Amino acid sequence: MNIEFSGKIVIVTGAAHGFGRAIAQAFASRGARVHVCDVNEAGLTETVALCGAASSIAHVLDVGDRSAVQATVAKIEAADGGTDILVNNAGGVRGQVGRPIEEISESDWQTIFDVNLSGAFFMTQAVAPGMKQQKFGRVINISSGAGLGISLTGIQAYASAKAGQIGLTRQLAHELGPWNITVNNVAPGFVLSNPTTERQWEAMGADGQKRLLDNIALKRLGKPDDIANMVLFFASDQAQWISGQVISVDGGK
């Protein structure tokens, strides 16, 4: 299957490392013009260097800030026209660890929702008018196995926000479908993709690592490219009659 994106305008959030960087590189290597967004400016600079300056542009952006999202998308579309593909990858646990429910503050809860759920909504809201006008669009949300089951770290807000993102995917698929806009979701399993997941892996210890691997059908961890490959499929013409779906990319459970 030869998947190409020549001439397509792509926005990838959370692109400073991990999944987002792999996804941005995958699109750039297939001819797309990729706008990479993150709060981590240094990481974005590295991503642009890997993608190639001719193929990618960096935007420092907090996706939980609706006004900033609207301004950034307006800037992108003024320069390049309507967005063809949006990948809502920004997310994570914002440095939090699992704690009992009674210890969770309002800000602890809200900050995780801001980036994992509100950010996906705000970004899609911003690109939707342009996608409707051109009668074409692909939105791919990156959730987590935590959104389908439980969080390995025990972080209540993370599991809840990712489950909410899956619900948002299904709802928006029906709302935006009449304009030939598909909305799908990739739910990654545990992948060593950034400093947070590397710390989680180390904290498991040898016994915990073995238990995790024993519960994976393929008996190994995945790579960021495994997630990027699923995103490419959802964004491709081969997936033009697929919408509202959630695919687990987790080595088999």
Mean pLDDT value of segment 101-112: 95
**This prediction's pTM:** 0.95
Mean pLDDT value of segment 21-46: 98
Question: For the chain, how big is the Rg over CA atoms in Å?
Answer: 17
| The two structure tokens encoding residue 202 | 């180390």
| The two structure tokens encoding residue 38 | 């993150």
Per-residue pLDDT reduced to its tens digit, 181-238: 999 999 999 888 888 788 888 888 999 899 989 999 999 999 999 999 999 999 999 9
Per-residue pLDDT reduced to its tens digit, 53-106: 999 999 999 999 999 999 999 999 999 999 999 999 999 887 778 899 999 999
- State residue 1's pLDDT score: 65
State how far the Cα of 90 lies from the Cα of 87, in Å rounded to an integer: 9
Residue 245 pLDDT exceeds 90: yes
Residue 135 pLDDT exceeds 80: yes
The one-letter code for the residue type at 170 is: R
State how far the Cα of 71 lies from the Cα of 90, in Å rounded to an integer: 17
| The two structure tokens encoding residue 219 | 């008996």
- HSE, CB side, 13 Å, CA atoms: give it for residue 243: 21
**What is the assigned CATH class of domain 9-193+223-244?**
alpha beta
Per-residue pLDDT reduced to its tens digit, 159-195: 999 999 999 999 999 999 999 999 999 999 988 888 8
| The two structure tokens encoding residue 253 | 């459970």
The catalytic site residues sit at: 158
- State residue 240's pLDDT score: 97
Q: Is the dihedral of CA 196, 198, 204, 210 positive or negative?
A: positive
